[in-house]
Amino acid sequence: MCFGWLYLPPPDYQVLGTHIASSLSFLSNITYLSEAGYFDSDAHDKWLLHTWSLSVEWQFYLIYPIILLGLKQWLSLHAIKRVVLISTVLIFIANIVVSQKWTEASYYLLPTRSWEMLLGGIAYFYPLSLTKQQKTLWLYTGLSVIFLSSLFISPEDVWPGYMALFPVMGAYAVITAHHPTAVFTHHPLLHYLGKCSYSIYLWHWPVVVWGVYFEFDQSYWWLIGIPVSVLFGHLSYTYIETATWLTPKRTPPALPSTTSASSKAHLAFDGWQIMKSIVSLKYVWVGGAVFLSSYFIATHHGIPQRYSEAYLDLIAQTQHSPYREQCHLKKYQAPDKACEYFDPNVSWAIIGDSHAVELAYALADKLQPLQQGVKHFSYSACRPSYNQAHAFSHCATWYNDSLNYIIANDDIKHVVFNHRYSRYFFGDNAATIPIRPHLSLPMMLTLFCSPLMMRS
């Protein structure tokens, strides 16, 4: 938030506030799904995009124990094991099916991701009995599968889908090998990286976005970014994750170990003591303060008062159409329900993908003094699909219905087509963005200092 205060313009700072609040409330996966997350062109502008997976994990580990406790009331341990095993298989199959039709939802949501964590439950419920040689073989088999997955799984593969099985099974093999004395797992450096891995994960994506935001040369930025991520992860692990100043001096009282009448009589008292201990944790107060601050930023438009009026006027010219949410489609809608701007004499139509949204609004604004209206047809990631079958694209039916509606409407005299044509001709460019000029040290310093200059 401090970085954003200095460097991010109000719209970006408002988005950052929303993302911080959703991450702290373990709902960031749902937030990023609503924004299309890794599948949109703004992924490298989202500083906390990686927290979606942490939200999924928190949701799982909050719900999973409750389900197990509920099952324990009616089922034996053996039956619970079978439920976990069968559930894992069924959810994996559901993940394959859902990934084909709703890729983003399958990627971000707990129901289609939970099989990966349930596999950890299977590793616990069904431990393998292996000799030392078998453990070594099983460990390095798992590591090899993970490594090969990183080489052969590409952005073009449907994900998670069935391909996710390979790295997940590789991790399962490493866990079930349970071989802490192997050369790979026993190395002190790898041990320490493992301890810091959570903190390193927290830092790695902001470092990536940092490099993109300041337009560093991406051909070498990874050489800087990886050590920086490890360094920040080390500092976080040392001074935050394992810091004693954030924990209470007293240990919370243990819950009664029996169900006797006296134990139940003290349960309410012990619960109160536990609540008091939780409240005494400093990180609860720190987290609460950060959440409230981020909520304030999100609900106050990124605090535009930080900047001069001239700069705010410039920013205002770059805003999205105010009708984007209302008029831009992500699922089928009958063409006659398309939005109309700003004059009843609709003689223009614009049709395309999300790139048509702002153009439709700007065109209508310019045509309004001429008493000419615009009908707006746009659909997310919709390639030109006229006279193509339903299977040609996810929007083919809508595209043909909309164009046929336009053709049949005698009042519409002018039609504008606007698509991201380069994507449909040459494919997505996510792997090569950003391709920007190399920045010299003086240019980097100028970028870092520019927020301070804007306030003058």
pLDDT value, residue 215 = 78
Is 390 among the domain residues? yes
Residue 37 has pLDDT above 90, yes or no: no
Q: Does 374 or 450 have the greater pLDDT score? A: 374
Is 393 among the domain residues? yes
Is 140 among the domain residues? no
- Report the domain count for the chain: 1
Terminal C-alpha separation, the chain: 21
Task: Collapse the DSSP code of 376 into the 3-class scheme (helix H, G, I; strand E, B; otherwise coil) and give the result.
Answer: strand
C-alpha span between 399 and 383 (Å, rounded): 9
Q: What percent of the chain has pLDDT over 70?
A: 83
Is 144 among the domain residues? no
Is 355 among the domain residues? yes
| CA Rg value for the chain | 27
Q: State how beta strands 373-378 and 339-341 pair.
A: antiparallel
pLDDT value, residue 84 = 96
Q: Average pLDDT, stretch 184-196?
A: 87
What are the φ/ψ torsions at residue 269 (nearest 5 degrees)? -65, -45
pTM recorded for the entire structure: 0.72
Is 398 among the domain residues? yes
Domain assignment of residue 360, given as a range: 324-419
Q: State how beta strands 414-418 and 373-378 pair.
A: unpaired
Is 379 among the domain residues? yes
Tens-digit pLDDT profile for residues 396-441:
999 999 999 999 999 999 999 999 887 777 766 555 554 444 445 4
Residue 43 has pLDDT above 90, yes or no: no
Task: Collapse the DSSP code of 329 into the 3-class scheme (helix H, G, I; strand E, B; otherwise coil) and give the result.
Answer: strand
Is 101 among the domain residues? no
Residue 63 has pLDDT above 60, yes or no: yes
Q: Which two tokens stand for residue 426?
A: 């040459």
Residue 249 has pLDDT above 50, yes or no: yes
